[in-house]
Structure 1
Amino acid sequence: MSFSKAQDLVRLARLAATRRRGISLAEICEEFGVSHRTAQRMTEALEATFPLADHNDGEDRKRRWTLADPDLDKLQLRNETGLEALEIAARHAETEGRLRHAKALTDLRDGLLHRLPRDKARRLEYDADFVLSSLGQVTRPGPKVRLNPDLLDAIIESLRGLFRLRVRYGNPDAPHRILEPHGVLLGHRIYLAARDPAKSAEIRNFRMDLIFEAETLEDGFNLENDFNLSDYAARSFGVWQDPDQFGEVIWRFAPEAADRAAGFQFHPHQILEPQEDGSLIVRFFAAGWLEMVWHLYQWGDKVEVLAPEPLRRMVQDHRRPDFASMP
């Protein structure tokens, strides 16, 4: 067996041991970038190498492999990339003011190093630090929101236990209101997606920097039926939610901008339609016309709004022909 195959086998063993439901053939294909037949051979090697490896068929008729081995932690692969990823994520969380998450990520990083022999840990940390020193942070204009750690802790506790949250919103002297948090949206601003049952059953976005006080209550609540934060976020182009603006959006990029536009993800559910004249039509369903305008302005006269009509009117008189480059 080659060294790379041995490493893959150890990694497969750890995945089988750490995933609650085990790992299926389809997931092995995706994780390792291999064919279905190769994935089958890998599971055969797993069962032959690890006596405690087992498989079972779930309700979805998919076979999954599991491994219960108390000594598996001794099989630690050298993982500079994992260490780098944890450090980058911790720095990003600290920059966003998510100090609780930054500390948790740093603890995971330290735990990874602690389980290694000292000389290997020192070498791994040195290699990771060298890579990190070569990565630069691009500074972009925009608000840098600093959140109160105690406030963020209260919101996370509320989300974790599905407890109601008592807040002051808008200004420090505002009357208390009770919210039912459904998730947090991270973007150029950070928003709490929550329901205010005293006012409406509709989920709304609340700017986190305008929450001046937050207390987790002991009262529980139920999430809105079939609520999915990704689907909820996809209803807007940025973060602004306006049911009156929600609908199909159609943009046409000029031939000279088509290749550049094709490299953008304007929306998670976008549809790209290359045209015979070389132009590109982009379609998706979302709200938030103002945030769309802020982005469209950067393309000058290289983009045309076909729908909706109110958005077309907002953009039409601001399509400049003299921008030296596109986004």
Structure 2
Amino acid sequence: MRHDKAAMVLDLARRLAASAEGLTLDEMARAMEVGRRTAERMRDAVWALYPQMEEVPDPPTKRWRIRGGLSAFEQAPDTTELLELTKAAEALRRAGEPGRAAALEALEHKIKAAMRSTTLNRLAPDLEALVRAETIAVQAGPRPFEDEAVLSVIRRAIMAGTAVGFVYMGGSTPGRKRRIAPFGLMFGRANYLVGGDLDSAQPEAPRTFRLDHMEGVTALPDRASPPADFDLQAFASRSFGVYQGELEEVVLHIAPDKADEARAWRWHPTQTLTNLADGGVEVRFNSSGMRELAWHLFTWGEAVRIAGPDSLKAEMRQALEAAARAHGGA
């Protein structure tokens, strides 16, 4: 289906209708995973089917877009797409994030309301059967803090380019008032605001603040925006978890009996895997957050050996010693 020409042309048409500014030929080629010449032919095919498509000058290049969207027939989702939307909302609700879950559920209702009744009636039995047949495993861990009012204040500040103020009960000085330029939000086992402390010597340096440690969050009139070169995804990818520090090269040796599992594991965006002579596998990546990585490595038991860096070995030794003290070990 991925290489079916008609499906690919319709996929491109949807992307052109979904983009307010339009797409360049290079962007079309990347999105459709084809060469530029193929992207040109696909664009022409879309233009023949949708003459309302328009060319938008954007020197030194051009963009194309379809104004007014596509018809409900062309946009009707399939069973799998509706199922994944339902499961994503369910996962958020089970993880203790009802606000984000409600947003996805509202989107699901809007999509279904826009569908033709005949299409919805055709999909409903299959969707109901799949929803009953699939579930999400409950994982141990802290419940992510979610206060819709707090998220709303932060999101409005991000869109307006203004600061937020709050009393932060975490960090080395609990109870301190903060004026923060919000750079973005990171959601995971705990939810964090990423921002710059306007009262510090380096207000452009990104720091993380746990949402459940913030009290009295308010919008401030101060103009505040992230540095022009700040990339939230790149920032998040620096660390194994959330804690940020100096990047270090991590080298792990996984025992042969766990090698297949290690190859299927997503350790880090920068990871490389190398087969070892004994049948094991070497995992190598650049990261900070050695403490969180040490915590994770506990789950691998004797199957993992830390080859480097020394800071990770030290974190693991400290964690092992603390666990031994807590359980009566030597």
Shorter-chain TM-score bucket reads 0.7 to 0.9
Q: CA distance change for structure 1 residues 248 and 7 in 2, over 3 Å: closer, same or farther?
A: closer
Percent identity of the aligned residues? 28
Whether the 8 Å contact between 2:99 and 2:146 is mirrored in structure 1 is no
Match of 1:211 in 2: 214
Alpha-carbon spacing, 1:102–1:276, altered in 2? closer, same or farther (3 Å): same
Where does the alignment leave 5 or more consecutive residues of structure 2 unmatched? 321-330
Higher mean C-alpha displacement, 302-311 vs 67-76: 67-76
The aligned residue for residue 155 of structure 1 is 154
Query: How far has the Cα of 1:185 moved from its partner?
Result: 1.8
Q: Which residue of 2 aligns with 1:239?
A: 242
After TM superposition, give the deviation of residue 108 of structure 1 in Å: 1.9
The TM-score with structure 2 as length reference comes to 0.81
Look up the match of 2:326: none
Q: CA deviation at 1:118?
A: 2.5
* Corresponding position: 1:221 with 2:224: yes
In the TM superposition, what are the counterparts of 1:269-288 in structure 2 within 5 Å?
A: 269-288=270-289
* 2-structure distance, mates of 1:168, 1:260: 43
Instruction: Give the structure 2 partner of residue 179 of structure 1.
Output: 180
Question: Contact between 1:97 and 1:149, CA under 8 Å: does it hold in 2?
Answer: no
The more displaced of 136-145 and 96-105 is: 96-105
The amino acid of 2:134's aligned partner reads L
What is the distance in 1 between the residues matched to 2:128 and 2:96? 23
Matches within 5 A, 1:25-104: 39-55=39-55, 59=59, 61=61, 64-69=63-68, 72-73=71-72, 75-104=74-103
Q: What one-letter code is carried by the residue in structure 1 that aligns with 2:153?
A: A
Q: Is the 8 A contact 1:96 1:146 kept in 2?
A: no
Q: Which deviates the most, 180-189 or 93-102? A: 93-102
Q: Secondary structure at the match of 1:176?
A: strand
Distance 1:95 1:160 in 2: 29
CA contact (8 A) 2:82 2:127 kept: yes
- Matched residue, 1:141: 140
CA shift at 1:227, angstroms? 0.9
Q: Which residue of 2 aligns with 1:19?
A: 19
Q: Deviations over 1:60-80 (max 9, x none)?
A: 75x654223566445333422
**2-structure distance, mates of 1:34, 1:286:** 33
Structure 1: how far apart are the matches of 2:93 and 2:128?
A: 18
Alignment partner of 1:292 is 2:293:
yes
Matching of residues 248-263 of structure 1 within 5 Å: 248-263=249-264
Whether contact under 8 Å (1:98, 1:152) holds in the other structure is no
Quote the residue 2:327 is aligned against. none
Give 1:154 deviation, angstroms.
Answer: 1.4
- Find the counterpart in structure 2 of residue 124 from structure 1: 123
User: Compared with structure 1, are the counterparts of its residues 34 and 177 closer, same or farther at alpha carbon in structure 2 (3 Å cutoff)?
Assistant: closer
Q: Which residue of 1 aligns with 2:323?
A: none
Taking the aligned partners of 2:249 and 2:29, their CA distance within structure 1 comes to 36
Match of 2:102, SS? helix
Letter in 2 for 1:19: S
Identify the residue that residue 325 of structure 1 maps to in structure 2. none
**How many residue pairs align between the two structures?**
312
Query: Cα RMSD (Å) of the superposition?
Result: 3.1
Question: CA 1:313–1:131 in structure 2 vs 1: closer, same or farther (change >3 Å)?
Answer: same
Cα distance change of structure 1 residues 271 and 106 upon mapping to structure 2, 3 Å threshold:
same
Residues 137 and 118 of structure 1: is their aligned pair in 2 closer, same or farther, counting only changes over 3 Å?
same
When residues 308 and 133 of structure 1 are mapped into structure 2, their CA distance, relative to the original with a 3 A threshold, is same
* Per-residue deviation, 1:219: 2.0
> Which letter maps to 1:195?
G
Q: In structure 1, how many angstroms separate the alpha carbons of the residues matched to 2:244 and 2:146?
A: 22
Shift in Å at residue 279 of structure 1?
Answer: 3.1
- Report the alpha carbon displacement of residue 14 of structure 1 after superposing the two structures with TM: 2.4
Q: In structure 2, give the amino acid aligned to 1:112.
A: I
Aligned counterparts of 1:301 and 1:14: Cα–Cα separation in 2 = 50
The letter of the residue matching 2:19 is R
Gaps of at least 5 residues in structure 1 are: 319-327
- Maintained 8 Å contact 1:305/1:315: no
How far apart in 2 are the matches of 1:274 and 1:71?
Answer: 49
